[in-house]
Amino acid sequence: MAITYTNHLDVDILAPLQVLIKGEFTQPVSYDVDYVARGTNWFNLLPIADSALEDLAAGHIREYEVLIQYYRIVSGQSRKDTHIDAVSTVIERLKRLIRNNTSYTDSNGQRFFNARLENIDYQPDNPNVSSDVQLVEATFIGNVLEVV
């Protein structure tokens, strides 16, 4: 007999993250593994890890890690007002968005909890991105309770 299951990465992590980001920002959200230019600025969600945190009598708690990448194309000499301020404003908003939604619930119930951005990297090493592309990477961590 076939098992029944829920794709928790999609339903409880990626879909709610996309809803939150699209609700706050006008930039599109993509799911590319490798760099693909998608306009002048956009978000990319890249699942990294899924770890078991705690086994319970009727389920378990899993921790998901997703790399949120923010791309912005800016040519010319790097300056504070055109380069640093532009991306830091978006990232500060993203940090506040996640902080205000550490627990995410929709009409079907709780999706994730204990959400946080653990690390922001303003200078990630990515040889596939040209010098005209600013890339900032934020590590999102969120927990999901799976009842079995």
Nearby residues of 65 by Cβ (< 8 Å), 6 or more positions away: 47, 48, 49, 50, 51, 139, 140, 141
Query: pLDDT tens, position by position, for the chain (148 residues)?
Result: 899 889 999 999 999 999 999 999 999 999 999 998 899 999 999 999 999 999 999 999 999 999 999 999 987 766 766 678 889 999 999 999 999 999 999 999 999 999 999 999 998 988 888 888 999 999 999 999 998 8
Kindly report the pTM of this predicted structure: 0.93
Tokens encoding 130: 């040209």
CA distance 49 to 88: 26
